[in-house]
Amino acid sequence: MNNVIKFTMAAGVLALMGCTDNNVSGAAIEGNAVAQNSSSSDVANNSSSSSAENAKVDINFLTNSTSSVVLNRISISVYGEEDGTSASCSVGEKSYTAKMKVSDGIVEQLMELKNFGSACDSVLNAFVSSCPVKASVYNETNYKKSCDEKGSVIALCHDARAVPLTVCTNTVPGSCTTIPADSTVDFNEILNDFVTSSDNMCNALHEEGGDDVVADSISFTLDEYTAQFTDNPEELSFDSHVLAYNAPIPFDAIFVTDGNVAMMTIPSSQSTIMEVQASEIPRFFPKMSSVAKDKLQKVGCKTYVVTDIDASQPMGHVVTSVAEGTIEITSVLQGASAAVGGVIVQTNAYFPIAFLVQDCDGLIDENTTVTSKVYTSNTWNFHDGTYVDAYGEWHRADLVK
């Protein structure tokens, strides 16, 4: 199975939105909204009548996205001017869309499923359960607050816990009381949860088409990865010391949270080499770890996570050599050039990638030099529309046999 977006959802959204303390993209959260104000963001919804309750509901962004990335059929957009983000993916007729927007301390999250079949009910229940207040559920076919017969539904979570709530009586003379804002609301945690749930859903949708599969049917090998870029393995192949590759890497491997501040644990501008124990490997390679298990470490060997940065997409990455005192990482570029009408760099997100390297020969340590080179593919050509899976989680074939 291919773990397609593990770092882009997390690092990309958090880094591009610049979420720190109680700020979202630099806009301070002000606790001055009251119960009568539903939100200053545009949620297309009407009230009261049954037909209006089931009308098309959405979170609308009024500005263009400030950053967008499309990786392996998954689209991620950040709306920095509106403190919002969206993620969407589809396989065949099934599609998943998630949106989140913060305005004056009010957090709105929307999920839309289309043609999910029987899986719709469990996904909807998980969304409703995760909403700290009552979630609203809509569908456009049978007007019930549940998935329709095709497994399509829209759900909205409107979370105003972080703003004061003013409650007034209907008596004459009336009286009003104010319920203070919940100071424990953590906007970073809300964003992290959005990232994680969207990440998991898109991975499941792409890998299994939304259905359960046997875990050991994982089939994305390192040899299959490099075969996308060349028909000559002697030109480009992973060194035999490499056990796995993952790009982008999972959120938990990149960030730790100190109070309300999400901090990167991996330098954002250089390669790193970290010796890891078996218990730490799943943070970086969750899919492969679940099936390889005891094959990841050997007596007398050391295991390292080697990280690097992907700063333009699409681009391939291969550890082509592990030798005494050096590790060589090769960046793979498309073969077309601007001279023949190709456009090499399509997006410029910025996120870490990782390789799992096993050293039984005493060749490397955490101070080993990491060198780089570039390989231009003759088979991956932008000009003729060749498509490859440049990202995701890939493993050495013998680990899952």
pLDDT for 249: 82
Tokens 């970073």, residue located: 188
Determine the pLDDT at residue 35. 35
With cut-offs at 50, 70 and 90, classify the pLDDT of residue 317.
Answer: very high
- Is residue 29 scored above 70 in pLDDT? no
How far, in whole angstroms, is CA 366 from its chain's centroid?
A: 28
Separation between Cα atoms, residue 192 and residue 190, nearest integer Å: 5
Query: Is 195 or 380 the better-scoring residue by pLDDT?
Result: 380
Average pLDDT over residues 363-370: 95
120: tokens are 């719709």
Distance, CA of 306 to CA of 226 (rounded, Å): 18
- Report DSSP state, residue 278: G
Q: What is the pLDDT of residue 322?
A: 97
Instruction: Rank 70-79, 214-223, 347-356 by mean pLDDT and report only the highest.
Output: 347-356
What pLDDT, on the 0 to 100 scale, is given for residue 209? 52
Distance CA 150, CA 241 (A): 47
Tokens of 187: 């906007």
Distance, CA of 52 to CA of 263 (rounded, Å): 43
Decide which of 206 and 30 is more confident.
206
- The mean per-residue pLDDT over the stretch 75-94 comes to 85
At residue 128, the pLDDT reads 85
Classified as helix, coil or strand, 313 is: strand
d(CA 142, CA 124): 16
Tell how strand 94-103 and strand 84-91 pair up: antiparallel
**Average pLDDT of every residue of the chain:** 74
326-333 and 369-376 strand pairing: parallel
197 membership: H or E segment, kind and range: helix 187-208
More confident of the two residues 92 and 369:
369
Q: Residue 167 corresponds to which tokens in the numbers above?
A: 């409650």
Measured between alpha carbons, how far is 272 from 102 in angstroms, rounded to an integer? 35
pLDDT category, 337, cuts 50, 70, 90? Answer: very low
Sign, Cα dihedral of 240, 246, 249, 253: negative
Other Cβ atoms within 10 Å of 9 Cβ, number: 30
Mean pLDDT confidence for 181-202: 75
Phi-psi category of 243—alpha, beta or left, where left has phi over 0 and alpha has psi -120 to 50? alpha
- pLDDT score recorded for residue 360: 95
Please give the helix or strand (H or E) that residue 257 lies within, else none. Answer: strand 255-258
pLDDT band of residue 219 (cuts 50, 70, 90) is low
If pLDDT is split at 50, 70 and 90, which confidence band does 73 have? low
Instruction: Flag whether pLDDT at 8 surpasses 50.
Output: no
pLDDT at position 369 over 90: yes
